[in-house]
Amino acid sequence: MDFNPMAPIWVQVVTRIKGEIIRGVLPPGAKMPGGRELALQYAINPNTAARVYKELEQQGLCETRRGLGTYVTADEQRILALRHEQAALAADTYLRFLAEMGMDTDDAVRLIREKEQPAKEENEHA
C-alpha cells in the first residue's frame, strides 16, 4: 500500500479496511489477520496495527475475542450504516467540488446520469 505522507498511516489503514468491510471483501463475522500479520501485510509497525484494531473496535466494526483473534462485526446494520456514511461523505465531496466550479445539484445529477450507463456497460463486460 502506498501511503499518503499527509495523513497518519493508521488512519489510512483503517480507511482501507473499512472499504473492504463495505465491499464485502471482509464479510460480517470474518476473522481478521492477527496484529503481526496485519503489520506485515501493510508494512507497518505492530503498534500501528494495534492502533488500527483499537480504532475499528471503537467504531463498532470489529471485536477482539480474547485468545481467538479479531473479527469483523456480525452486525449487518452497522455495516449498512458505515456504507451509508461513506457514500454520504463521497456525495458531499462531489457536490462541494461542483459548487466550486459554479455547478448546482441539477448539474451533478445530470453528470451522474450521463456516466451511469457507460459504467453499467463496463461492469457487465468485466
DSSP letter for each residue of the chain? -PPPTTS-HHHHHHHHHHHHHHHTSS-TTPBPPPHHHHHHHHT--HHHHHHHHHHHHHTTSEEEETTTEEEE---HHHHHHHHHHHHHHHHHHHHHHHHHTT--HHHHHHHHHHHHHHHHHHHHH-
pLDDT digits over 34-68, tens only? 999 999 999 999 999 999 999 999 999 999 999 99
Dig out the grid coordinates for 7 from the structure.
495523513
For the entire predicted model, the pTM comes to 0.80
Dig out the grid coordinates for 90 from the structure.
463521497
pLDDT digits over 74-119, tens only? 999 999 999 999 999 999 999 999 999 999 999 989 988 888 877 6
